[in-house]
A and B are shown apart, each in its own frame.
Chain A
Amino acid sequence: MGNLIWKELINEWRSREMVVSMFIFGLAVTLVFAFAFNVSPVLFRQFAPGLLWVVILFTSVLGLNRLFSYEGDMDAHWSWISAPIDRGIVFFSKLLIGFIFLSMAELLFIVPFFLFLNLDVSFSILFFLGILILGNSAIISIGCLISGLALRANMREVLIPVLLFPLASPVVIAATKSTVFIFQNKPFEEWRIWILILFTFLLTSALLGYLLYDQIVEE
């Protein structure tokens, strides 16, 4: 598994395509939202959690596409498909890498996000980071599963969001709700259920991905 992670990291380091493009895209979408929702700062504060997760969701689609498509260059993926490794491990490595890169890009565009939308930071940073971690991993988890399905499709760039958005709706709802509670500094007991939902989603999709990856990967 370490071997696979190392391979992914070097690939990204050489091209730097994923993190950079995700960051710039996130920034661009934030800008569009700032223009499109021309409202007072007070109202923006109410919208902000939802907007944030929309930006994250859209950005993840970009990353997911790239995460899987580069394996097709020179048919590189055949190297690990025909190797005596558990292909579920490859799924986990993609999940981990996707999560790392999404989080990196996110941490970069979150600062402008808060800046442009004039949001104050009067909430628990710890909880906020926690929900970001959980939400990101849930999105990437189901995203990796879907990208594996759409890998050889003719309209892959369209198919991934079309499949991802409905399937990830519990994540969007749960993450947004949790973020709202976090921004309002409400006690944990009130939004505990949403965390539970996110965890369940993450575990289920990760497990399904691990179990079903064998079936998906062969031609």
Chain B
Amino acid sequence: MSFLALRVNKIHFLLAAFLSGINIFLILTIAPQNQLQPDFGNIFYIHVPVAWTAFIGYMLVMIFSILFLWKQEQTWDHFALASAEAGTMFMFLVLITGPIWAKPAWGHFWVWEPRLTTSLVLFLIFLGYFMLREFGGNPEQVSRYAAVLGIIGFLDVPLIFLSVKLWLPELQSHPQVGQYFEDAGIMPVLMITYSLLSLLVVISFMIRFRVHNLKRRETHKII
């Protein structure tokens, strides 16, 4: 059965599209201009929410992986894989928007700043995750392996972040929002929160869609 035939999925999709559309429009027009970077500054409104969403996506991988190992039901494995894919796609956007923002802000395309570096390491871990999924062997077994990797990968994050933060103390985290938008009041925070919300709707849609596809493919193979 087609994914969009179900009403709840149709509504979900429309909500995601609608929110994203308005979001992009707002970012391009109404959002307060960044004082120091009038042209590129608004990428910030994309970068921060995307980073949060990617992070949440990976957290979901860990949660679903734990559920899979506990309940041993294939559905949880599908959710874990879908979350990993969605999370990685968003993380890729983080790694693209990061340098775009970094160049005007700090003068270099890449800086070994803690949050960005942790994002890169997480991204690499999950590239390894997909390699494991692809080459790990027997699909039934690989689900378990991937689940374990999903758990270790995410649990490693606090340690990675801490290590990177203490590694180069001269490079602190991103300057806070307030520093760049001093005159704009609560708008920036509102914008970022709104963007985050719309992206969360998008990512949940992506996960549901992908899980549906995976389930459909599996049933067809067995038949």
Contacts and interface: CB of A to CB of B under 8 A. Distances in A.
Given A167-B125, A219-B141, A193 B159 contact: no
A152 B125 contact: no
B138 A152 contact: yes
A154 B159 contact: no
Contacts of A208: 151-152, 155
Contacts of A155: 131, 135
B212 interface: no
B141 A152 contact: yes
A197 interface: yes
A173 B136 contact: no
Interface in A169-219: 169-170, 173-174, 177, 193-194, 197, 200-201, 204-205, 208, 212, 215-216, 218-219
B138 to A, nearest CB: 7
Interface in A125-172: 142, 145, 149-150, 152-155, 158-159, 162-163, 165-167, 169-170
Contacts of A159: 128, 131-132, 135-136
A204 B160 CA distance: 13
Interface in B143-196: 144-145, 147-149, 151-153, 155-156, 159-160, 162-164, 166-167
Contact of A197 (B124, B144, B153, B163): B163
Chain B interface residue bracket vs A:
20 to 34
Given A166-B124, A204-B155, A208-B155, A149 B145 contact: yes
A166 B144 contact: no
B155 A149 contact: no
A153 B131 CA distance: 10
Taking chain B's interface residues, is the majority helix, strand, or loop, or is none over half, making it mixed? helix
Contact of A177 (B132, B136, B167): B167
Contacts of B21: none
B43 interface: no
A13 B129 CA distance: 35
Contact of A167 (B137, B147, B152): B152
Contacts of B125: 163, 166-167
Contacts of B206: none
B162 to A, nearest CB: 6
Contacts of A215: 69, 144, 147-148
B131 A162 contact: yes
Nearest to A208: B152
A145 B147 CA distance: 13
Contacts of B162: 170, 197
Contact of B136 (A152, A197, A201): A152
A78 to B, nearest CB: 15
Contacts of A167: 125, 152-153, 156
Contact of B163 (A149, A162, A169): A169
Interface of B: 69, 121-122, 124-125, 127-128, 131-132, 135-138, 141, 144-145, 147-149, 151-153, 155-156, 159-160, 162-164, 166-167
**Would you list the 3 A-B pairs with minimal beta carbon distance, nearest first?**
A166-B124, A170-B163, A152-B137
Given A159-B131, A170-B159, 17 more contacts: A149-B132, A152-B136, A153-B132, A162-B127, A162-B131, A166-B124, A166-B125, A170-B156, A197-B159, A201-B159, A204-B155, A204-B159, A212-B148, A215-B69, A215-B144, A216-B145, A219-B141
